[in-house]
Amino acid sequence: MSRNIFSSVLDAVERGAFPRTQKWAWRGLYSILSRFWRDDDWRFMNYGFVAEGAPFPLKPEDEDERVFIGLYHQALEGLPVAGARVLEIGSGRGGGSRYIARYYEPGSVIGLDYSPRRCAWRGG
């Protein structure tokens, strides 16, 4: 019986019945992942985006991250980013900021995130 109550509470949190609890839970999970997951190749924490039609050009070394980069590509397509100062709020592990810096030639890119450990620049 307690398992059913627990499952019901988790379902309610996921549906957004308790917005503060949901925010607290996701923020906690995010902080734990940011602190303990040490894979330096893990750059993105978004769901990604796959556009219909012809794929946008990417360097061969970025192909494995195409789905995640696709979210940034569709958000920035057609915007005058070259030479601009870019601020990414919720930059996660920096994959999106890295993509913007490598493909859009901004004047500068700053990434802000909940987890200060994820905001340290590693270059590349």
Whole-number Å distance between alpha carbons of 95 and 120 = 12
Q: Global pTM? A: 0.65
What's the rounded mean pLDDT across residues 57-65?
92
Residue 118, Cβ neighbours under 10 Å: how many?
19
What's the rounded mean pLDDT across residues 35-64?
78
Q: Say what percent of the chain tops pLDDT 70.
A: 62
CA 31 to chain CA centroid, Å, is 13
Q: Give tens-digit pLDDT for 98-122.
A: 999 999 999 999 988 776 655 555 5
CB 104 within 8 A of CB 76: yes
pLDDT of residue 84: 97
Torsion angle, alpha carbons of 58, 59, 61, 67, to 10:
0
